[in-house]
Structure 1
Amino acid sequence: MSPPPVTVSPERVLTAATTIVRKKGLPALSCRAVADELGCSVAPIYRIYASMDALTEATLTHIFSHLVAYMTKPYVPSALRSAGIGIVLFARDEPNFYRALFLERHGVAKMVLDLLGRLEAAAATTPGIGDVTAERRSVLVLDLWLYTHGLASMASASLVANLDEAWVAEKLQRVGAVLIGATLATAEVRPMALVDPSPRKARRRPK
């Protein structure tokens, strides 16, 4: 008797693609790898996702939702610091996911801008930050992101021994206090331009 046909749905394809990235990293993701994971040919994969780019984007969007779940967990009373803690812990727990989002591909500006927008929303509710100008708050959020991204990158590479929630919270509180104080005390702040290699354009934050 022939084995029952494999039912391939968008959800199963996305789950398989996410599993591959989690285990082996973004470079291992391909339609053939997904087909092998599901035990089918590549034909149904291409019926659901017309191109490898479409599959990759869907997978990264799904992975980003995992990051958002970490960022929105209330580790501490401050939503902004909780988001930073979540970013670092996500990089520690899911190193291949973090590298896939921010370190292993071109065109990461879209994800970074989405993340910065979420951090700015959290900053707007933070005492002492929420009442400053939008431009100054954006510069502050970007400065905090630069430090947090560096720490998260180290976490994704397992370069920090005994990295736990309390240690991350203390680091972000101490460095955050310094950056916040410096930004609020500076007479003039200069925004940074983020370059997206795909359209070859620079987007300034803030505009």
Structure 2
Amino acid sequence: MARKKTIMKSSILDTAYEVVKAEGFDGFTARNIAKEMNCSTQPIYLEFKNMDDLKRELLVRIKAHLTETIYAQERMEKPILNDALNYLHFAKEEPVFFKALYLENRLDAKQIYAISHDVVLDSFEKEDETKGLQKSEKEKLFALLWASVHGAASLIAQDLIPFNEEELTKYLKQSLKGCLKVI
């Protein structure tokens, strides 16, 4: 009689997610994930073809976390600034995870970038000053604004600048205003 499977794909994915949140991608190894689960690496390779397959599924989970949890926070009424401030909070509150996603470049960088891109472009449609812009103008605005936001978030995640929400909010407003002038 065959043994009953006790370690499910979802458990492996949950553990891999927690490992990356806590250790970054340096901890993303089959051995390390198995150690956290108190098992061998065999269940991981029974459920996933390889670690790249696990990483692809992990990316789906990460996207859901970012869109449903990080960007869903209501910190300001202005959607664009709310998205930016949520990104900065993420860098402050989960610096290891933030660095793993945005600075280590161990996942598909374009897909990670696209998450913020899509969220912010959706917010452009909710604001009077940006909803009438042409698509090319919105793309340019996002690129300009997000370079500034991502730079600040990177410095916050590395604890190189202090996190002062009031000052950062002023900075975000000035950045948006300046970027809109360029457009």
Give the CA deviation at 1:6.
Answer: 8.6
The answer to which structure has the higher strand fraction is: 1
Equivalent position of 1:7 in the other structure: 6
Counterpart contact for 1:95–1:156, Cα < 8 Å: yes
Which residue in 2 is equivalent to 1:190? none
Q: Is the 8 A contact 1:143 1:179 kept in 2?
A: yes
User: How far does residue 160 in structure 1 lie from its aligned partner after superposition?
Assistant: 1.5
Contact 1:6 1:40 in 2 (8 A): no
Relative contact order, CA 8 A, sep 6+: which one is greater?
2
TM-score by structure 2 length?
0.89
Report if aligned partners of 1:60, 1:101 keep a CA contact under 8 Å in 2: no
Paired residue for 1:36?
A: 35
Unaligned runs of 5+ in 1: 184-207
C-alpha contact 2:83 2:120 (8 A) present in aligned 1: yes
Instruction: Report the Cα distance in structure 2 between the residues aligned to 1:13 and 1:166, rounded to whole angstroms.
Output: 40
Q: Quote the Cα distance in structure 2 between the aligned partners of 1:167 and 1:14.
A: 38
Unaligned runs of at least 5 residues, structure 2: none
Which range moved further: 105-114 or 93-102?
105-114
SS at match of 1:178: helix
User: 1:67–1:90: 8 Å Cα contact kept in structure 2?
Assistant: no
Identity over aligned residues, as a percent?
A: 22
Structure 1 length-normalised TM? 0.79
CA distance in 2: counterparts of 1:81 and 1:126, whole angstroms: 11
Task: Give the equivalent residue in structure 1 for 2:66.
Answer: 67
Deviations 1:134-170 (A, max 9, x none): 1111110111111111011111111112x14333322
Partners of 1:24 and 1:101 lie apart in 2 by 12
